[in-house]
Amino acid sequence: MKKVVYVTGCFGFIGSYVTRECLKKGWHVMGIDKMTYAYFPDAYNEFMEHPNFSFERIDINDIEFLYECDYIINTAAETHVGNSLVKSENFVHSNINGVHNLLELIRNYRAESKNLPTLLHFSTDEVYGDITDGEHIETDILKPSNPYSATKAAADQLITAWGRTYDIPYVIIRPTNNYGIGQYVEKLIPKSVKYLQLEKKIPLHNEGTPIRNWLHAQDTANAVIKIIESKVQNEIYNICGGFEQTNLDTVTKIITLYHPKDEVLSETFPHYDQRRINQYLDLDIVRKGQDVRYALNDDKLRSLGWEPQMDFDSELPKIIEYYKQNFIW
């Protein structure tokens, strides 16, 4: 029988990759999205033409009932750390209250004697807090350090508690720093391209020293499919791309790719003239609570047969070119 899945945040960055892969499998996707500033118009145009896709424009807090389905894949969330420092109530609303509503919808589903759908929830590596050496595993204590990660950690705790108390099936996935085409301009890679196009200095927190592990959204979507097809329940999985570097190194690569005719900037990394690079950067910004490094161990997921396929340095030029050609400021 064909699977039926809800994807919340279906036109968002991660949600659009997940939706696309579900449709490729021949599943019916019921998309949910309130279409805020960060939705991806290309995904909307693509999916609305697909015969196996249906859509409702609604906030996950306002959903009042569920059609019969196999999975609810929850990618809907407020995700930008900087915004959470200014207006944390939006993050509580979407990331905690919204998840609570989904859990209650599933719990009430039981009263109608239907097969209970599994909640496959997108968390984040940031729930663990930072780690200077080594890698976090799924059983580590959660130590979020900013309002965004605190709301995601709270949602994780809600899900595991509802799973234990009400026997609601769930899977929580915690990916590292996702990248790819379709991110809104507030994220590091598209934001850097934007500032270069506007001939403004790229702002980097804490002199660009924070280290991030990069994971392509396509690899994340593939992990979702692998988890669903493996039929696992009541588990937590880390997902990482196996490639980490400082934010300064990431932006340095973006600058050199954006200015390919500059012979000094185009020398083989890491032999750039840092003084030439710094002319494009604003390194005076300090963010309180800035995590130094995120790193995950994803052996548990790889035991299911998944591994990342996308190479950061190979994908970055394509992503930069897309943003140069397609962004409307």
Residues designated as active site: 125-126, 148
Q: Length of the chain in residues, anyone? A: 329
- Rounded Cα–Cα distance for residues 138 and 119 (Å): 18
**298 touches 305 (CB < 8 A):** no
Helix, strand, coil % over all residues of the chain, rounded to 5: 40, 20, 40
Q: Is 145 helix (H, G, I), strand (E, B) or coil?
A: coil
**204 touches 251 (CB < 8 A):** yes
Sheet architecture: strand order including 177-179: 177-179, 211-216, 244-246
* Residue 65 tokens, joined: 């009932």
> What is the DSSP code (8-state) at residue 293?
B
**75 touches 122 (CB < 8 A):** yes
**202 touches 281 (CB < 8 A):** yes
Q: Cβ atoms within 10 A of the Cβ of 65, count?
A: 8
Q: Taking the alpha carbons of 283, 213, 13, 115 in that order, is the dihedral positive or negative?
A: negative
**160 touches 167 (CB < 8 A):** no
**274 touches 113 (CB < 8 A):** no
